[in-house]
Amino acid sequence: MSGPKGVQCKHIAEEPILRLLRSFDGKWATWRDTDLMPTVVPAFPAGTPAKVVMAKMASLIRRGLVDGCTCGCRGDYVLTDRGAEWPRRRYGA
Ligand SMILES: [Zn+2]
């Protein structure tokens, strides 16, 4: 899937997304650009279309790194245990 600027899911780094979710400490995050609840938007390149954000999150959910909903509602993304371990193991953070 690609957006108007050619941003594609597979080109988006997942490490910043997983780190950001970890910083929310179990609070649910959304794909929307909002101040009302935690959001994953700051972990994406500026201007990433919402549908690409949602598709990227869906791929992380499929891989078991993130829990949440892919139906187009607010998402309610949280890290799974596996997602919490993944960047630490891979990057030593
Ligand atoms: Zn939903």
- For 77-89, write each residue's pLDDT tens digit: 999 999 988 866 6
Confidence of residue 54 (pLDDT cuts 50, 70, 90): very high
Looking only at Cα atoms, what is the longest distance across the chain? 35
**pLDDT at 76 > cutoff 50:** yes
pLDDT at residue 72 in the model = 87
CATH of 14-91, one of 1.20.1290.10, 3.30.70.20, 3.40.190.10, 1.10.10.10: 1.10.10.10
* Spacing, Cα 67 to ligand 1 middle (Å): 11
Q: pLDDT at position 3, please?
A: 47
Cα 72 to ligand 1 centre (Å): 6
- How do beta strands 66-67 and 78-79 pair? antiparallel
Domain ranges of the chain: 14-91
Q: How far is the CA of 54 from the centre of ligand 1 (A)?
A: 11
35 vs 93, more confident: 35
Q: Where do the H-state alpha helices sit in the chain?
A: 15-23, 50-62, 81-91
Q: What is the 45 CA–ligand 1 centroid distance (Å)?
A: 24
pLDDT tens for 7-35 read 677 789 999 999 999 999 999 999 999 99
Closest CA to 76 of 87, 84, 67: 67
